[in-house]
Structure 1
């Protein structure tokens, strides 16, 4: 409880940052190979050089700095550093190969690795550009720490703490290393299923690969300016919707589903997702029709289903022009984006489990009015009793999430953007959804680009680790004697 009273060991953080750079260098080799296949030789050289520099830096750090056992506080800092650092490393080759300003390239890489989908793409993007950002979304979806755990880290306390910070206490295998590899296998299988579906729909191989990587990671980058709206017919939106839902379900649930398929529908998060999708589709269709019901609702329904699922799962594909929507439609999508999918999935937002706990807490408050004061009524989700400390953490997270959202939207409003669009854009970034009203473009002010970058990063690492990263007490020991006496007294 008092671990953060003492500062973190920066050398321990740096040591495992070396592991991170070494693994991420392999990630950069994939765009290099893609550039060779696509005939973009100069880009292949750029990505190959970047991979070599990243690997060399990682090896050098590991050679110079001795081994450390990672404490929980250092694992938190590493989780906070991972996405900003990897975005920075990947932004350099993207800026050089695509001819983008560095800030725009960094924004694109943050959006990719956080699986958001907001874009500052140049006027004439190459095929490599589209593939690279979809590939980075796929990597960001499974989580870079999973790659580190599955490839480089030995079983032990450090592996457990890294896993705990990123995925919590639940495991599908006895060890966290085996669990990380199992989750990676599940992710790969889901990707192959999604790719097969899109190929079956008639989409070309290149576009199927790009959309599969973005759909299963609930990222939402498309090779088309109109997103999924550029494709005719029913099959492609339908299979994309299936892929979004697969990515929004907790990966730890899939091994259980193989043993007992009924586990899927019994899971409270899945049931809430289906319920919200049905209710949300009806409400969104109502806002699209302007409150009118009738035969025209049938024509709206396919777009309403697709857009509701895309927003709820935090994917960010679209089949309609978001900018032309009414404020009511934008407000609805903003709210449903903030909910997100299951904990343990690739989605962002508050997450369904936290929503379920809040709903159960409200229910319990009203229920207790009819019970004696001495009655014991634990808060439960299904058969699981929720610890009071977990409730405090959930309520703190929701409060921080709301504060960040309001503050970010306020900055947008200072630039003359109306409240509906400001809330929509910042909700999309913080929920790592990626839907846009058109505000996000290369010509937007640099401060707003940085605000959206911060929102995307906060949404991906779930706020607390990034806040801890910037706390002075994380890095510097308190010199106040009063503070020291208070800590000793509390511990005693």
Structure 2
């Protein structure tokens, strides 16, 4: 039996927290006199009030959350955050259309970075800060943050952490889930502060530095400038962005081990080695043809190439150059990067490197199994044996991911969009990247899609952010059976 009252209590806590997180934008609104402070306050009051009603109506519910409730809470909470998160846009009139406001909010919370805004720089400062804040909230997951404070609410949260953590990883920073969540957020907040400081020292004003720090560490890609990071064409800011995008796409347990001096654990990570090696090889390898095609100085060609490789692999989606203008072959390679994803346990979306690693290692070992059918040839990652159950789970995930990409692309083509744009839109939304190919390339946006298509793509973004199963399991009869 599903404990709906316990779920209602947690939904209330999340909405109150969401309301509080709307308020920092009021300070920027007042400072810049952008006139949107009332909208933010009104949205915060509505979210907080409804959250308080839910929370205190079910305040006596103290059941520990089981896995079934955990998956439902994560799915429903992201839906509710998307609904209430678009209130500042609607109340202020910045984005008056519901489908547009929903798309922008879901894109923020899922750290996708796709946008329907055609002129970002005219958006009021407070609302624009809330837009960046939605990505920072979604970066590591508001659920993980709430897990850290659940003891104050009398609620257990291990199932929530399992359902929300971005990727298949068994590493734990601390045996207690509350301490794990707290350490993840210490790292997240610390790196966000460091990125903002370096952006500021590199020449951004305080407001832009804060916004870009929030969206960089969230691997979100929302910018305060219409031309994204191409606006800041200097090496210092762009290399800073590359560094922190790389860190944000790294498994946070690897970052924790490096900060605590456990470098043997860092270099033992097969995923981290594959992640770093792939970025280095692609950055150097693609910069050579781009150098000859573009006619730029090599440093600029290398920087643009490395920036876009890191931006797409980590699913950040910042833009420093239009990667579709070089050559169709190079465009195809960048399109394929939409299916990579960062490391498991990072803020990045996408398939994740550990799944690719397991797939390719297992496929390679299959040749050996064919030649030696009686031999026991185990798959190992980080020196540990990967069980058959995990391999099956990864293979199923990759198959379902591919099926959703194909079916989603077919749906958009039926709606009347060309196949290249359909491929690009579904791939980038499912991978939570931002830019794609076709009419949704790095210098384009999603404003031309119909309201129906925007709602559909919003659902695709949520599927990708919550690792497919978290939402899809709700549509299966097994989830609702009581025995």
The 8 Å contact of residues 291 and 302 in structure 2, kept in 1 or not, is answered as: no
**Residue 126 (structure 1) aligned with residue 138 (structure 2):** no
**Residue 457 (structure 1) aligned with residue 458 (structure 2):** no
Structure 1 residues 177 and 329: CA distance shift in structure 2, 3 A: same
The 8 Å contact of residues 334 and 423 in structure 1, kept in 2 or not, is answered as: no
CA distance in 1, matches of 2:43, 2:296: 56
Aligned residue number for residue 407 of structure 1: 407
Aligned equivalent of 1:93, options 73, 88, 97:
88
The 8 Å contact of residues 331 and 420 in structure 1, kept in 2 or not, is answered as: no
Aligned equivalent of 1:140, options 125, 138, 141:
138
The 8 Å contact of residues 312 and 340 in structure 1, kept in 2 or not, is answered as: yes
Structure 1 residues 154 and 295: CA distance shift in structure 2, 3 A: closer
Structure 1 residues 337 and 446: CA distance shift in structure 2, 3 A: same
Aligned residue number for residue 162 of structure 1: 160
Q: C-alpha root-mean-square deviation of aligned residues, in Å?
A: 2.5
Structure 1 residues 140-149 or 405-414, which shifts more? 405-414
Post-superposition CA distance 1:120-158 (Å, at most 9, x none): 125432222332111111111021102211223459983
**Residue 180 (structure 1) aligned with residue 173 (structure 2):** no
CA distance in 2, matches of 1:151, 1:137: 21
**Residue 102 (structure 1) aligned with residue 104 (structure 2):** no
Structure 1 residues 460-469 or 195-204, which shifts more? 195-204
Give the deviation of 1:264 after TM superposition. 3.1
CA distance in 2, matches of 1:325, 1:77: 45
Output aligned runs, 1:238-257, within 5 Å.
238-257=239-258
**Residue 395 (structure 1) aligned with residue 395 (structure 2):** yes
Output aligned runs, 1:32-431, within 5 Å.
32-41=26-35, 43-65=36-58, 66-67=60-61, 68-100=63-95, 101-121=97-117, 123=119, 124-153=122-151, 158-167=156-165, 169-257=170-258, 258-285=260-287, 288=290, 300-322=301-323, 324=325, 326-371=327-372, 373-431=373-431
The 8 Å contact of residues 330 and 424 in structure 1, kept in 2 or not, is answered as: no
Aligned residue number for residue 453 of structure 2: 448
Give the deviation of 1:81 after TM superposition. 1.7
Structure 1 residues 12-21 or 153-162, which shifts more? 153-162
Aligned residue number for residue 3 of structure 1: none
SS in 2 for 1:259: coil
Post-superposition CA distance 1:201-247 (Å, at most 9, x none): 12211111111111111101111111111123211111100010110
Structure 1 residues 157 and 85: CA distance shift in structure 2, 3 A: closer
CA distance in 1, matches of 2:124, 2:41: 18
Give the deviation of 1:296 after TM superposition. 7.3
The 8 Å contact of residues 284 and 332 in structure 1, kept in 2 or not, is answered as: no
CA distance in 1, matches of 2:93, 2:325: 30
CA distance in 2, matches of 1:77, 1:234: 45
The 8 Å contact of residues 409 and 423 in structure 2, kept in 1 or not, is answered as: yes
The 8 Å contact of residues 324 and 330 in structure 2, kept in 1 or not, is answered as: no
Post-superposition CA distance 1:39-58 (Å, at most 9, x none): 234x2222222222222222
**Structure 1 stretches of 5 or more lacking a match?**
1-6, 478-486, 488-492
Structure 1 residues 411-420 or 203-212, which shifts more? 411-420
CA distance in 1, matches of 2:460, 2:118: 22
TM-score, with length taken from structure 2: 0.90
Post-superposition CA distance 1:303-353 (Å, at most 9, x none): 111111111111101111255454433321221121111111000110011
Structure 1 residues 196 and 265: CA distance shift in structure 2, 3 A: farther
May I ask how many residue pairs the two structures share in their alignment?
A: 469
Post-superposition CA distance 1:347-378 (Å, at most 9, x none): 0110011111111101211122343x332222
Give the deviation of 1:169 after TM superposition. 4.5
Aligned residue number for residue 17 of structure 1: 11
TM-score, with length taken from structure 1: 0.88
CA distance in 1, matches of 2:480, 2:279: 44
**Structure 2 stretches of 5 or more lacking a match?**
none
Structure 1 residues 306 and 154: CA distance shift in structure 2, 3 A: same
CA distance in 2, matches of 1:321, 1:259: 39
SS in 1 for 2:238: helix
Give the deviation of 1:34 after TM superposition. 2.9
Give the deviation of 1:174 after TM superposition. 2.4
Structure 1 residues 79 and 169: CA distance shift in structure 2, 3 A: farther
